Structure 1
Amino acid sequence: MSSTTSNVKYHASRAAESKPLEYLARGGFIGYGIIHLLFAWIALQVAFGGSGQESDQSGALQEIARQSYGKGLLVVIAIGLFAMAIWQAFEAAIGESGPRDRAAFAERVLSGVRAVLYAYLGWMAVKIVQGASASMGDNYQSKSAGLMGSDGGRFLVSLIGLVVLGVGIGMAYYGWKRKFTKHLKTQEMPAGVRQSIIRLGVAGYVSKGIAYAIAGMLFVIAGVNYDTEKARGLDAALKTLAGYSWGVWLLVLIAAGIAAFGVYCMAQAKYRKI
């Protein structure tokens, strides 16, 4: 490794260990948990009331904005999300070991994906504070329509769907095998709550994985059938489930799992290794 690269990694490591960044990131987990609790509530409304709200994280952000204290809370959540994005970007850049270690490399890739997700949600929160009608579903549908209008676009949308499907399966596996526990300070958890927190994590990751897998399958269908309505991400996935009698109850279970993930995120505010 060159001296320049070593120097960059050294300074990045020092920045990643910044206490202010750690506190902001821990606060970000609380905000991320609130988003998922509201996301779960919207999913339940979709299941039983046919809600027209965006049934994804952007819908949760819009719900917060509708409250009297909403815009102030969104600013706080956005700051936390951006702090989480910076922290995960450092994790992606630095990693825990050399690039030849496949597990470490995969973890760095995941950190990069998380950084993009947190930054995107933070950006959406800012847009909503500014009065814009930010919608993840509309954004996905618009970009998919643009892709399908070009040569090979439908194939690319279907390919994106397969990637999202793979992400969903991977997320469910990640939760089921409790791989997330390596990021938790389990030794600091009270014995009486340790297993409860881990079970919340399992339920949350598996439920989100199922939702993403369904969204991925709908992207594939959208590409094959030239149906942009299906290319709306989690919003399309959950609303499609609500259209079937059996799907309503699966949607209820997914909503319960997403709520569990929200509570788990709040536990991460204290017990996540940062």
Structure 2
Amino acid sequence: MTEASLTNDTHRRLITFAARAGYGARGALYLLIGTLALLAALDLGGDPVGTRGALRVLFAQPAGYLLLGSIAAGFACLSAWRLIQAWADPAGYGRDLKGLGIRTVQAASALVYAGIAAFSVGLMFRWEGIEAFARAAPVTTWLASIMAAPFGSWLSGAVGLAVVGVGVGKVVKAWRTEFDEHLDCEDHIRLWVVPVSRFGLTARGLVFVMIGSSVVWAAFQVQAERALGLAGVLRSLERTPLGWVLLSAAALGLGAFGVFGLIEAMYRRIDVKDID
């Protein structure tokens, strides 16, 4: 084996490790979000929170620095993997309209995951402004910035529709079992992996639809504060007449998506053979 081949093999092993670490970190965080929401639904002391709230809960634990540092590293790895997917296209989505759309979503998710990693590091080192940012509603903040631009309401509405589209796409993929193509596990494991993964992906897709719909409504009303993030969606479910039922269902679904993340960390087939 040549030196170049050894170098490429090492790079591919590192990319595979980074992808698995990222999927695992995302899975762990969603498991925590789902658990906290379920505790809140059953009136057992939890609180429906989004990603930032869950990170703050982690940091408040005795091993907070270690837990948060692990999550930050994992999301940094996941961000890097998403950028590789968007740029190098190892899965072969191509450059047609559909392929470019998928790769654009991958690039956007890379930015989101990088933001989660940066927020985690900011909490650990108590960066100035992190606490103020933690109390603010990020969806409302960026939506207000977009609305302030020329044609901002139309652009905000387009972003909301795009998020709804991503959510619908996730639900469709879940029920077509397209995720199964990327899993490399034995049949007896697949028997429970597929239904759990389908449930989790469906729940996350529906949450995307609710978030996107709230952004569209906020754009229509020209009121950025009407837009909801993950925490806002969970709290809005909690306030409905059957709040504990709906919140419990959402919590179990998000927890199932967390399990799916751990499944990906163990069994996902990482496409690195075509990366130069």
User: With structure 1 as the length reference, what TM-score do the two structures score?
Assistant: 0.83
Equivalent in 29, 41, 50 of residue 35 of structure 2: 41
1:190 Cα deviation from its structure 2 partner: 3.2
- Residue 32 (structure 1) aligned to one of 15, 23, 26: 26
Amino acid at match of 1:126: V
Matches within 5 A, 1:25-104: 25-49=19-43, 55-95=49-89, 96-97=91-92, 99-100=94-95, 104=99
The answer to whether residue 176 in structure 2 is matched with residue 182 in structure 1 is no
Q: Percent identity?
A: 26
What is the aligned partner in structure 1 of residue 118 from structure 2?
A: 123
Deviations 1:103-157 (A, max 9, x none): 6545433432332232222122112212233549622212222333454333332
Query: Structure 2: how far apart are the matches of 1:89 and 1:106?
Result: 14
Alignment-derived partner of residue 237 in structure 1: 233
The CA distance in 2 between the partners of 1:243 and 1:20, in whole Å, is: 45
For these two proteins, the number of residue pairs brought into alignment is 261
Select the residue among 195, 207, 213 that pairs with 1:211.
207
The TM-score normalised by the length of structure 2 is: 0.82
CA RMSD, 1 decimal: 2.9
Match of 1:202 among 171, 191, 198: 198
Per-residue deviation, residues 204-248 of structure 1 (Å, max 9, x unmatched): 110011111111111122222233332232222221121111344
Separation in 2 of the partners of 1:141 and 1:103?
29
Answer 1 or 2: higher relative contact order, Cα 8 Å, separation at least 6: 2
Out of 46-55 and 174-183, give the one that drifted further.
46-55
Q: Which residue of 2 aligns with 1:169?
A: 168
CA distance in 1, matches of 2:109, 2:10: 15
In 2, the alpha carbon distance for the partners of 1:15 and 1:255 equals: 40
Structure 1 53/167 Cα, relative in aligned 2: closer, same or farther at 3 Å?
same
Cα deviation for residue 65 of structure 1 reads: 0.7
For 1:119 and 1:20, locate their aligned partners in 2 and report how far apart those are by CA, in whole Å.
18
Query: Quick one: structure 1 residues 81 and 169, their matched pair in 2 at CA, closer, same or farther if it must change by over 3 Å?
Result: same
- Cα distance change of structure 1 residues 27 and 155 upon mapping to structure 2, 3 Å threshold: same
Cα offset, 1:40, TM superposition: 0.7
Q: Contact conserved, 2:171 with 2:201, CA < 8 A, in 1?
A: yes
